[in-house]
Structure 1
Amino acid sequence: MAEVPIESITLRGGAGALAGWAVDPPLGTPNLGTVVLVPGFTGSKEDFDFILPLLAAAGYRAVAYDQRGQWQSEGPDDVAAYTMADFVGDLHGVVEQVSPDAPVHLVGHSFGGYVSRVAVVETPARFRSFTLLASGPSSVEDIKFPPPRMVAQVVESAGQEFLRQQMSDAMAAAGQTLSPERAEFLHNRIVRTEKANILGILRCMEAPPLADPAALRDAGVPLLVAYGDTNDLWDPEIHENFARQLRAGTAVYPGIGHVPNEDVPAQVTADLVNFWKELA
């Protein structure tokens, strides 16, 4: 497979610069379109570092970015600047910057899927497809996650360090192990992420991102629901039912948890590419 290096890019956001990564198809490879990938709660563009080169090798320009206040992106220290409308506005702006003349394929992981589904409903013509990657219906019911307001109270009092420790303990309880380098990166990322970003996202998570899933179904954008069937935040039957409501296709990863993009990137990439080829 041809080498496809990742390029660091800077994008304009509504509250400052957004740090991004972009990978172009190798020279001589037909460009089949642009893919935008949106990370979730406490995430960043690095959540897609395995997938980006694979997508480029398959013929797609692939772009991922840190949402406002995440990791290397700028963001204010005021929680009021982290509403769903703010995150969605940034996504609209990213799409316009990376593909002003053509709709993009959109992939949203977890909370990134919340932001993405609102954007799709608002401007469906800007999207060739939308994939919800480990991104269930809501964070208020049928989810294995503490109530967002409770988590926010803990973060307010104990800060990001405590939240990172809780997440590490949950991973260990699920049998997941990290290399020292990966553990250091995750620690540095959450410490560098604005506390207001974390609290703002938790506020957004207190209500479903869309009052009625039918709005996403009826937007007319082809949909795929992709998820691991083990230790995800939502049980498989929740994802299955959500996909039925949306009349979406599904891709399931046996034995995989909340980050199939990291655990089985080749399979996720293959499923995405097959999904997009069916639309051609």
Structure 2
Amino acid sequence: MPAGISTKGTALLLPGFTGSKEDFNPLHQALTARGYHTVAVDGRGQYESDGPETDEYAYAQDELARDVLAQAAALDTPVHLVGHSLGGQIARAAVLQDHAPFRSLTLMASGPAQISVSQQQRVKLLQDALAVMTMAEVWEAIQAMEPPEEAEAGDLDEGLADSEDLRRRWLGNKPAQLLATGRQLCVEPDRVAELATVPIPFHVLSGSRDDTWPVTLLDDMALRLRARRTVIQGAEHSPNTDRPQETAQAFADFWDRN
């Protein structure tokens, strides 16, 4: 934390499917200015966090949730937990295992249950490709399938970055992690009622458009959780990269009250 800025709290930020800690880079400076120490992490088997190449059991949701609890313990202070997309469902699982380390939970573009049918189809295409192609070959296939205006944005969850950086981050993912977590996204049950019993504040944040979970579904989830609800206008599935200043402000405004 820079000199002259007092620390209000610490936040732990979890990326989404095919994402990485770098997805939160656009937020750190603004959140630091608001007095928050932010720690973004790669999940097990994501980019620079190691994991087994082929053992999908190592990426079971409960295992990944225990990693989050270990990360929170290492920070040695109660943390505001943020999960983007898949990261939100892993964050939810961690809170349901043990809510004591957490001051609040923010679910960013992360819905109550499985992803939309169209996104399930994309995950199935990825799984089929991983069965017969290398990670580098899959990357090239993804780029060939993307419309030109979307090619720089990468895949399901990655935000704006240059193509070579996105490729490097993609190649760091373990195939078993992508297979296991992709399957989780397609079969995740609705655990909102269970989460609503946990005595911490909730925040549901999304863009004004999202084809992974419809915005109306996120509205309903927020009501069921009695959560603060923020819609970032002009943003889609990655408000953190689509509208970083507005997203950082919404995070900090929520944390200031909790």
| TM > 0.5 | yes
Q: Match for residue 21 of structure 1?
A: none
Q: Secondary structure at the match of 1:108?
A: strand
Q: Match for residue 88 of structure 2?
A: 113
Q: Secondary structure at the match of 2:162?
A: helix
Tell me how far apart the structure 2 counterparts of residues 26 and 218 of structure 1 sit (CA, whole Å): 38
Q: Match for residue 26 of structure 1?
A: 2
Q: Match for residue 119 of structure 2?
A: 145
Determine if contact 1:55/1:61 at 8 Å carries over to the other structure: yes
Structure 1, 156-165 or 227-236: larger mean CA deviation: 156-165
Alignment counterpart, residue 198 of structure 1, candidates 153, 178, 187 = 178
Tell me how far apart the structure 2 counterparts of residues 88 and 243 of structure 1 sit (CA, whole Å): 22
Tell me how far apart the structure 1 counterparts of residues 144 and 205 of structure 2 sit (CA, whole Å): 25
TM score, norm. by length of structure 1? 0.82
Alignment counterpart, residue 207 of structure 2, candidates 210, 220, 228 = 228
Asked if 1:158 corresponds to 2:138, the answer is no
CA deviation vs aligned residue, 1:1-45 (integer Å, no higher than 9, x gap) = xxxxxxxxxxxxxxxxxxxxxxxx211211111100001111111
**Structure 1 residues 55-70: aligned runs within 5 Å:** 55-70=31-46
Q: Match for residue 84 of structure 1?
A: 61
Cα deviation for residue 153 of structure 1 reads: 2.5
What amino acid maps onto 1:139 in structure 2? Answer: Q
CA deviation vs aligned residue, 1:47-76 (integer Å, no higher than 9, x gap) = 001111221121111101111111111111
Cα deviation for residue 143 of structure 1 reads: 5.1
Q: Match for residue 97 of structure 1?
A: 74
Q: Match for residue 156 of structure 2?
A: none
What amino acid maps onto 2:168 in structure 1? Answer: N
Alignment counterpart, residue 240 of structure 1, candidates 219, 227, 232 = 219
Cα deviation for residue 256 of structure 1 reads: 1.4
Structure 1, 248-257 or 30-39: larger mean CA deviation: 248-257
CA deviation vs aligned residue, 1:141-186 (integer Å, no higher than 9, x gap) = x45402445542332223434554565467637x546389611111
Structure 2 residue ranges without an equivalent (≥5)? 154-159
Q: Match for residue 197 of structure 2?
A: 218
Q: Match for residue 254 of structure 1?
A: 233
Q: What is the number of equivalent residue pairs in this alignment?
A: 250
Q: Secondary structure at the match of 1:145?
A: helix
Tell me how far apart the structure 2 counterparts of residues 143 and 35 of structure 1 sit (CA, whole Å): 32
Q: CA 1:170 to 1:58, structure 2 compared with 1: closer, same or farther past 3 Å?
A: farther
**Structure 1 residues 3-22: aligned runs within 5 Å:** none
TM score, norm. by length of structure 2? 0.88
What amino acid maps onto 1:261 in structure 2? Answer: N
Tell me how far apart the structure 2 counterparts of residues 273 and 75 of structure 1 sit (CA, whole Å): 32
Tell me how far apart the structure 2 counterparts of residues 237 and 206 of structure 1 sit (CA, whole Å): 19
Structure 1 residue ranges without an equivalent (≥5)? 1-24
